[in-house]
Amino acid sequence: MEVNKRGQWGSNLGFLLASVGSAIGLGNLWAFPYKMGKSGGFAFLAIYLVLVVLVGIVLMLGEFALGRHTGHGAGGAYAALAKKYSFVGWMAVISPFLILAFYCLLGGMVLRYCLGFLMQIFGADGFVGQGSDFFGWLRYDSTSMLLFLAIFLAITMFIVMGGIKGGIERFSKAVMPALAVILVVIIVFVAIQPGAKEGYAFMFKPNAETFSTPKDFFDVLKTASGQMFFSLSVGMGINITFGSYLSKDRSLQRNAVIVPVADTVFALLAGMMILPACAAFGVDYAQGPGLLFASMQKVFLDGMGGMAGNVIGFLFYFLVFIAAITSSIALLEVCTAFIVDKQLDKGKEPKRRAVTAIFVVLIFIIAIPVALDALGSGGAAVKAPYELMGLTPDSEGFAMWNDCWLDFYDMITEGILMPLGALIMSLIMGWALPNLVKNECEESGHKFKGAQYFKFCFRFVVPAVMILVLYTQITSFFG
Ligand code: PFF
């Protein structure tokens, strides 16, 4: 009875597509290619893959098991283990709340680019006369930034209001196959462009010289591990919450392998779409975060040009939009489930729609500075953190975390709350409750495979990597 009031997946496929949809998002399509472009190509890729196997899969299994075992979303799950762990549940809910503030802004910007190319297809000027300088203009246009943020948030809200089976599952099942098809079409189109080859070489040619000093190695390790967290959606409430809607007869271990593998394949495919496109059209791939916006728009508008450029450009941003929405609904679901579970625990009728709407209003409010600081370019409607601190981009103390509100929120979540939450969870699973994962996996009648491997990773590998990440984060914060 209670399970039905909370909601449940209609099928394992639905659960899988929703989980894969949550994992695949801007992290794959926006962050992975640009981080790879900046951090030495193959070297980054190699470390990333090792981290997925040693840390990502392990955390994901732990989170699925915790959710299904307790039958609660992130907030309630830790409290159900023991009162003293309640604060970890809070951390796991604060992260998606903060991430949504910038994720929905980026999603809104993607939507604006998508609309721009659609207008171009119909012969109108989609980029207000700015052509490929549009990124510079958009950042300072408060009306567009707030409007598209609001539209993206509203779409996210309506899907989550629809509930697990009727909202999230139905949407994911409909759009995930489309996502795969569009991606393949664009990859093939890019592959036949002259000059694309160089992009593949950058991705797949071993280049050990990237690690000429230990510092180089640690820098790449830090970037790759942050990326792994964000891209797999581990270290916050998502997989706990999604696992809690899964029935007992499904294999947790199989799902915990399929999701990271699918996510990694998608990240690689995204790289194979974006990096060769840059190579073919002479756009620099070490550009950083603007890669998805400024550089890719240049590829379609100036490089390919004409109708082909407009159509492929539209498809490209539409693909990114779908990927971003299936992630933002997962983020919002964690927040909604947190309160819905509390209402159920108190024996009240859950108010999913009202709870979701209230969260969306709060998220919009905290997203306002993110939308209005021109992503830290200075002199905008709202001052960026470094401006409030009286710094300039050249002064000492200017850093990645204070250069704009987006990076500030990102540092709190990806840099601190997520690794800290993952550290505590792995210690609980490895030392305090060492049989929880195994027992929960075996509930479905499947034998728990690789028990020694998981035990070793929960006890030692994951904590060690998390401590390293937190250490580098804190030193760069005070440095
Ligand atoms: N994994 C998503 C991406 O790669 O874009 C982002 C994300 C979604 C992060 C959900 C965290 C999360 F809980």
Quick: pLDDT tens for 191-240.
Answer: 998 999 999 998 888 876 767 777 778 778 878 888 898 899 998 888 99
* pLDDT above 90 (res 158): yes
What pLDDT, on the 0 to 100 scale, is given for residue 178? 85
- Mean pLDDT computed over 146-158: 97
Question: Which tokens belong to 123?
Answer: 């012969």
Ligand 1 proximal residues by C-beta, below 6 Å? 22-23, 25-28, 96, 99, 230-231, 233, 236, 238, 327, 330-331
Ranges 36-45, 297-306, 445-454, most confident = 445-454
Tell me which of 19, 20, 22, 32 to substitute to probe ligand 1's pocket, judged by most ligand atoms within 8 Å of the beta carbon.
Answer: 22
CA 237 to ligand 1 centroid distance, Å = 11
CA 30 to ligand 1 centroid distance, Å = 12
What pLDDT, on the 0 to 100 scale, is given for residue 1? 33
Distance CA 75, CA 87 (A): 8
Tell me which of 105, 172, 233 to substitute to probe ligand 1's pocket, judged by most ligand atoms within 8 Å of the beta carbon.
Answer: 233
CA 347 to ligand 1 centroid distance, Å = 32
What pLDDT, on the 0 to 100 scale, is given for residue 284? 82
What pLDDT, on the 0 to 100 scale, is given for residue 3? 46
Instruction: Tell me the pLDDT band of 478, cut-offs 50, 70 and 90.
Output: confident
Distance CA 363, CA 356 (A): 11
CA 24 to ligand 1 centroid distance, Å = 7
Question: Which residue's alpha carbon is nearest to atom 7 within ligand 1?
Answer: 233
46, HSE (Cβ side, Cα atoms, 13 Å): 14
CA 348 to ligand 1 centroid distance, Å = 31
Q: What are phi and psi of 380, to 5 degrees?
A: -95, 180
Nearest-atom number in ligand 1 for the CA of 334 is 13
CA 236 to ligand 1 centroid distance, Å = 10
What pLDDT, on the 0 to 100 scale, is given for residue 291? 85
Give percent of the chain above pLDDT 70. 98
In contact, 285 and 199? CB cutoff 8 Å: yes
Nearest-atom number in ligand 1 for the CA of 327 is 8
pLDDT 10s digits, 10-23: 888 888 888 988 99
In contact, 57 and 257? CB cutoff 8 Å: yes
CA 389 to ligand 1 centroid distance, Å = 30
Which residue, 363, 276, 315, is CA-closest to 110?
315
CA 195 to ligand 1 centroid distance, Å = 32
What pLDDT, on the 0 to 100 scale, is given for residue 2? 40
Tell me which of 230, 232, 412 to substitute to probe ligand 1's pocket, judged by most ligand atoms within 8 Å of the beta carbon.
Answer: 230
Tell me which of 36, 152, 231, 236 to substitute to probe ligand 1's pocket, judged by most ligand atoms within 8 Å of the beta carbon.
Answer: 231
In contact, 387 and 378? CB cutoff 8 Å: yes
Instruction: Tell me the pLDDT band of 85, cut-offs 50, 70 and 90.
Output: very high
What's at 163, amino acid-wise?
Answer: G
* pLDDT above 70 (res 4): no
- Mean pLDDT computed over 415-438: 94
Distance CA 478, CA 82 (A): 34
CA 233 to ligand 1 centroid distance, Å = 4
Nearest-atom number in ligand 1 for the CA of 232 is 1
Neighbours of 306 (CB within 10 A): 10
* pLDDT above 60 (res 470): yes
* pLDDT above 60 (res 289): yes
Instruction: Tell me the pLDDT band of 310, cut-offs 50, 70 and 90.
Output: very high
Nearest-atom number in ligand 1 for the CA of 237 is 13
Question: Which tokens belong to 427?
Answer: 């210690």
What pLDDT, on the 0 to 100 scale, is given for residue 442? 95
Neighbours of 181 (CB within 10 A): 11
Question: Which residue's alpha carbon is nearest to atom 11 within ligand 1?
Answer: 233
- Mean pLDDT computed over 289-313: 88
In contact, 8 and 164? CB cutoff 8 Å: yes
CA 44 to ligand 1 centroid distance, Å = 20
Nearest-atom number in ligand 1 for the CA of 323 is 5
Q: At what angle do helices 306-345 and 352-372 cross, to 10 degrees?
A: 130
Give percent of the chain above pLDDT 90. 61
Nearest-atom number in ligand 1 for the CA of 96 is 13
Tell me which of 103, 172, 333, 338 to substitute to probe ligand 1's pocket, judged by most ligand atoms within 8 Å of the beta carbon.
Answer: 103
What pLDDT, on the 0 to 100 scale, is given for residue 229? 87
Question: Which residue's alpha carbon is nearest to atom 9 within ligand 1?
Answer: 233
**Burial state string for 62-92 with b = 16 or more CB within 10 A and e = fewer than 16:** bbbbbbbbbbbbbbbbbbbbeeebeebbbbb
SS (H, E, C) the chain: CHHHHHCCCCCHHHHHHHHHHHHCCHHHHHHHHHHHHHCCCHHHHHHHHHHHHHHHHHHHHHHHHHHHHHCCCHHHHHHHHCHHHHHHHHHHHHHHHHHHHHHHHHHHHHHHHHHHHHHHHCCCCCCCCCHHHHHHHHHHCHHHHHHHHHHHHHHHHHHHHCCHHHHHHHHHHHHHHHHHHHHHHHHHHHHCCCCCHHHHHHHHCCCHHHHCCHHHHHHHHHHHHHHHHHHHCCCCCHHHHHHHCCCCCCCHHHHHHHHHHHHHHHHHHHHHHHHHHHHHCCCCCCCCHHHHCHHHHHHHHHHHCHHHHHHHHHHHHHHHHHHHHHHHHHHHHHHHHHHHHHHHHCCCCCCHHHHHHHHHHHHHHHHHHHHHCHHHCCCCCCCCHHHHCCCCCCCCCCCCCCCCHHHHHHHHHHHHHHHHHHHHHHHHHHHHCCCHHHHHHHCCCCCCCCHHHHHHHHHHHHHHHHHHHHHHHHHHHHC
* pLDDT above 70 (res 397): yes
What's at 451, amino acid-wise?
Answer: A
Nearest-atom number in ligand 1 for the CA of 324 is 5
Q: 50 burial class (0-12, 13-18, 19+ CB within 10 angstroms)?
A: middle
- Mean pLDDT computed over 137-165: 95
Whole-model pTM above 0.85? Answer: yes
| Mean pLDDT of the chain, nearest integer | 91
User: Would you give the end-to-end CA distance of the chain in angstroms?
Assistant: 54
What pLDDT, on the 0 to 100 scale, is given for residue 430? 97
- Specify the higher pLDDT residue, 33 or 58: 58
- Mean pLDDT computed over 254-271: 93
What pLDDT, on the 0 to 100 scale, is given for residue 200? 92
CA 323 to ligand 1 centroid distance, Å = 10
CA 126 to ligand 1 centroid distance, Å = 29
CA 97 to ligand 1 centroid distance, Å = 12
Distance CA 207, CA 46 (A): 10
